Structure 1
Amino acid sequence: MLDLLGERKPFYESIAKIASLGEKEVLTLVVSPISYATLNYFLSKFENSKKAREKLRKFNVISEICSLDAQTIEKGLNSSFKDFEDALQYFSAIESGCELIITRNGKDFKKSLLPVMSPDEFLNSLVKK
């Protein structure tokens, strides 16, 4: 999401295509609540807070927010994930019935039971279908 909302080159193009598929309801974009807090923090460092929140509001229209409850946090705390945020992302995805995780940080999801793909890998998988 940071690559999309921050328009970070060279990663923006691929994630923008995926966001477009979500906007057209070809697929469902599911995002954890922790992502919104993290994104607001980073976007606000590079532009004003008002603009950061407006970008988040627009993205919120084309995505669904998954649950992040006490049980998900407990699973994250007791997991073998080195990065707690990654654990929360993973268990939120599992609890929400997601089919896969799209991230450029795939190395931190090696034990994932869900397929993990980079944006480019995901787009390539669509072409092969």
Structure 2
Amino acid sequence: MGGPRGDLDLPAGRAVLARSLLRRRVRARRRRDSGPPPAPGLPEGRRRRGAPAPPRGEARVRRFLFDVNVVLDVLLDREPWADSAARLWAEVEAGRARGLLPGQGVTTIHYLMRRARGAAFADRGVSEILTVFGVAGVDARVLEAALALRFADFEDAVCAAAAVASRCDLLVTRDPAGFRGSPVEAVSPGEALARLSRGRRSTPPRRGSRRTATDRPSRRR
């Protein structure tokens, strides 16, 4: 039985998330069509390079390179991993993190989705992904760097090298142990969510904003 969406037939377990993502995407498109451009620092799947950094005092948007298994866990509703992967996807959709996929990983995602659900589903899935995630380029320099990592799995090495080239903060994967020795730390979706949460709690107040009683330093010793 199909899910509630017309463009991507997600299983029922992803229905709430799917509706939320669709509503956000529609609102974002309306703002782009009729309103001023997005505020500097908000990530978009096709944001131009060289966009201004967030104003001083605001949290920097963290950049995550997603291993293909994390994206497939959401799109194919693969339990028990789908829930945490879907929550992290939603963080990217909402602009609280910047999500990137390695260039060669997009073709892998299409192949596996086609094998699981057919060509039409795979085409729609890749189109959906590209509205949410950016693509980390994989060129000769990245491939040479991947070879130098000497990973047992070359595809994993390419992911790690692409994460470095794209200046990612974390590499998000279901299998962090497979990325031992990665120059960019590899973590699970659950750990990435936890770090985003801690980062929001530790963000200092913006300069010029009024401090509350809890913001003021205590005079007690």
**TM-score under structure 2 normalisation?**
0.56
For 2:140, the equivalent position in structure 1 comes to 70
Report the identity percentage.
26
For 1:25, the equivalent position in structure 2 comes to 95
What 5-or-longer segments of structure 1 have no aligned partner? none
- Does 2:95 correspond to 1:95? no
- 1:51 maps to a residue whose letter is F
For 1:79, the equivalent position in structure 2 comes to 149
Aligned alpha-carbon RMSD (Å): 1.2
**In 1, Cα distance between equivalents of 2:95 and 2:196:** 15
For 2:215, the equivalent position in structure 1 comes to none
For 2:176, the equivalent position in structure 1 comes to 106
For 2:124, the equivalent position in structure 1 comes to 54
Instruction: Tell me the CA shift for residue 34 of structure 1.
Output: 1.3
1:35-54 superposed matches below 5 A:
35-54=105-124
| TM superposition outliers: structure 1 runs of 4+ over 4 Å | none
Deviations 1:36-85 (A, max 9, x none): 11111111111011111101111110110011001111122232111010
**TM-score under structure 1 normalisation?**
0.93
Alignment: residue pair count: 129
**In 1, Cα distance between equivalents of 2:190 and 2:132:** 20
Q: Which has the higher helix share?
A: 1
What 5-or-longer segments of structure 2 have no aligned partner? 1-70, 200-221
For 1:8, the equivalent position in structure 2 comes to 78
Instruction: Tell me the CA shift for residue 127 of structure 1.
Output: 3.4
**In 2, Cα distance between equivalents of 1:79 and 1:111:** 8
